[in-house]
Amino acid sequence: MKTILTLLFLLQSLLLFAQSETLEKPKSVGIHYFGELGFRPGLEVDFGLPILKNKIKRAEKKRLLFLQGYLRPSFAYYHYAHFSNNFLLGLKFNYQFKLVNSENYKYLFAEPYLKIGYLRYAFIGEIFDTANGGFEERNFGGANSIVLGAGLDFGGKITNRFDWLVGFEYLAESTDDKLLLHRFVFKLGTRIKLQTK
Amino acid sequence: MKKIFFLYLLLTLTGCAKEELFSEQARHDLWLFHEGAEMPIVVEGNTSSKIFLILLHGGPGGSAQEFNAYSKAFSDPLEVDYAMVYYDQRNAGLARGEWDEDKLTIEQHVEDLDKVIDLLNHKYGDDIKIFLSGHSWGGFLGTAYLLEPARQAKVKAWINIAGGIHRNLRNFHNLATIKTIALEQLAAMENVEKWETLLQDTENELNNGPLQYDAETESVPNALLRRAENLISEDRLLDLNGNGGTAAIYGDNYDVFLILINGRKGTLIEQLYAFDETLEADLNKITLPVLSIYGRYDVVTAAPQGEYLNANVSTPEEDRKFVLLNKSGHSCTKNEPVVIAEEIKMFIEKYQ
């Protein structure tokens, strides 16, 4: 199962970079507070690349609905007090529903997404290993997991360059010690558009 | 000027990184990697006292961090005077590492505990004084550990808190305690109908149940004790002094999901029944001072379990103490934390 997930993760990454050169669509960098269980502090950075053709529908007279798929590779760091520093390398598939006011170009968007990732725990504290007899001090120790999950982001325009973003994420975590854990994340942050045209 | 600044910065950073081994308010996060398990050990409190109190959690599958996180009225006063050692056993609490069913044995847990004690000596020196305490399954584990005189030599004394000592007798002790409580509550005219039914079912099990229980048949007395616990709760017979979870989850290293999932894993019940024979043969090898603390309303590991332990060790009479808590059930560190902490302090001061 883990091998399949890892291969899937790698394949998606390859597809992402294979496509990124061929599309000229708005790319963005997201920077978010990443709070596991709300208040376990962390930071996530992601990079949005459009992968599906932009569709436009007229929602009302003044409003246009844009539909756009994105791949968003992401990296998150978060911290468990006295226990571990955690590093999550992820890949999200976001589908954006963006409602634009055609008169003033203000907009709001909602993005449901799926996420897959690799999570590394780096234990905090002194590690003593008995493997070679006695107590050998180790510099690094930790655990690995594969995460699968889904989330929902909401956002809107602040300026031509910046969007605001708030979101929630659920991650099912399959650990290398055969545990299945649940993670709930609250996100708050901004997206920086790399093209403002 | 630049050189002086960088030198100052370097000295400041290296100064910050150095952790004091002995202080009155230490917090040391250690990990023991042993036989595939990665077990967290938190040493918190007054390490300068050089008195270390290891707390073995219940379960199997509980967490020692739970006492640090949710029973602060119990753990904080002890941390003022001693270094508390919160150790999460393999495949339990916040422990990580391999999940190997073959290593989920009493013998492996005993070996792990031995390594924890050796690690404390390795880190803090051979001149520290180690006291061992354990709650519920931890009470059993500590007892099993001390059956070997060489291991007894490593600790100063044994504090058994609501320990399940003898698995088969435990069923009869629990049933007898449920009967006693039911009769008291009926005399006090509390929840009459429910207590009457429970009393009848308990007497029926005492009269007609097996003399030797096993993992399967103990489900009957276990179901009765769950009913008794509910009634004890309904009748408000226990003091409640646990602290809230917010600080535990966000301030301490308390990972609810990890602890819950770990707690649902394997069980040692068959092994506990098989170990009764060893216990009967070797309990008299224990010569250390023993303090047993039990709740009057504990129907999970009832007070006679502690009386059994105290009666069968070879410790001199004056070095055995039994404390019965009048407002406590099985989670007695949440019911009467202050009383327990005081009893432990008095005991440690006597035998340090």
Report domain extents, chain A: 2-19+28-125+137-193
Q: Distance (Å) from the C-alpha of residue A87 to the closest C-alpha of chain B?
A: 17
Q: Are residues B116 and B135 in the same domain?
A: yes
Query: CB distance from B30 to chain A under 8 Å?
Result: yes
Domain membership flag for residue B109: yes
Residue B245: predicted pLDDT:
59
Per-block mean pLDDT, blocks of 10 residues, chain A (197 long)? 55 49 68 87 92 75 86 93 90 93 90 95 93 86 91 94 94 83 92 80
Contact A135 B258 (CB under 8 A): no
Amino acid code (one letter) for A18 = A
Residue B272 token pair: 């506990």
Chain A residues near residue B94 by CB distance under 8 angstroms: 83
Residue B9: predicted pLDDT:
47
Q: What is the mean pLDDT of chain B?
A: 89
* Interacting residues of B219 by C-beta distance below 8 A, sequence separation 6+: none
Of B115, B128, B159, give the one whose Cα is nearest residue B347.
B159
Contact B38 A124 (CB under 8 A): no
Distance CA B289, CA B311 (A): 13
Of B33, B122, B250, nearest to A40 by CB-CB distance is: B250
Q: Are residues B101 and B145 in the same domain?
A: yes
Top residue of B19, B33, B41, B246 to mutate, by most chain A CBs within 10 Å, is B33
Of B134, B130, B158, give the one whose Cα is nearest residue B146.
B158
Q: Are residues B153 and B179 in the same domain?
A: no
Q: Are residues B53 and B157 in the same domain?
A: yes
DSSP-derived pairing of the beta strands B83-87 and B51-56: parallel
What range does the domain containing B219 cover? 170-234
Query: CB distance from B17 to chain A under 8 Å?
Result: no
pLDDT in tens, B177-221: 999 999 999 999 888 999 999 999 999 999 999 999 999 999 999
Q: Are residues B198 and B243 in the same domain?
A: no
Between chain A and chain B, the number of residue pairs with CB atoms below 8 A apart is 80
Whether B311 contacts B274, CB under 8 Å: no
Residue A80: predicted pLDDT:
84
Residue ranges in chain B modelled with pLDDT below 50: 8-17
**Between the CA of residue B316 and those of B150, B179, B287, B289, B290, what are the distances in Å?**
19, 32, 7, 8, 10
Comparing alpha-carbon positions, the chain A residue that sits nearest to B90 is A177
What CATH code would you report for A2-19+28-125+137-193? 2.40.160.20
Phi–psi pair at B287, nearest 5 degrees: -120, 0
Q: Distance (Å) from the C-alpha of residue B17 to the closest C-alpha of chain A?
A: 12
Phi–psi pair at A23, nearest 5 degrees: -105, 140
Whether A115 contacts A92, CB under 8 Å: yes
Question: Of the residues B234, B268, B289, which one is the last residue of a structural domain?
Answer: B234
Residue A15 token pair: 């597809």
> Strand locations in chain B, DSSP E?
26-34, 37-45, 51-56, 83-87, 96-97, 129-135, 158-161, 290-295, 320-325
Q: CB B71: neighbour CB atoms within 10 A? A: 22
Phi–psi pair at B235, nearest 5 degrees: -85, 5
Whether B292 contacts B321, CB under 8 Å: yes
Of A39, A121, A126, nearest to B30 by CB-CB distance is: A126
DSSP B175: H
End-to-end CA distance of chain B: 54
Residue B189: predicted pLDDT:
87
Contact A82 B99 (CB under 8 A): no
Give exposure, A104-130, as e/b (b: 16+ Cβ within 10 Å): eeebebebebebbbbbebebbbbbbbb
Amino acid code (one letter) for B22 = F
**Between the CA of residue B102 and those of A41, B91, B256, what are the distances in Å?**
38, 12, 26
Question: Of the residues B213, B234, B255, which one is the last residue of a structural domain?
Answer: B234
Domain containing residue B159: CATH number: 3.40.50.1820
Kindly list the residues of chain A whose beta carbon comes within 8 Å of any beta carbon in chain B: 37, 39-40, 80-83, 121, 123-131, 134-135, 138, 141, 143, 175, 177-183
Question: Of the residues B215, B234, B253, which one is the last residue of a structural domain?
Answer: B234
pLDDT in tens, B249-290: 665 556 677 777 766 665 788 999 999 999 999 999 999 999
ipTM: 0.87
Q: Structurally, how many domains does chain B consist of?
A: 2
Q: Are residues B175 and B89 in the same domain?
A: no
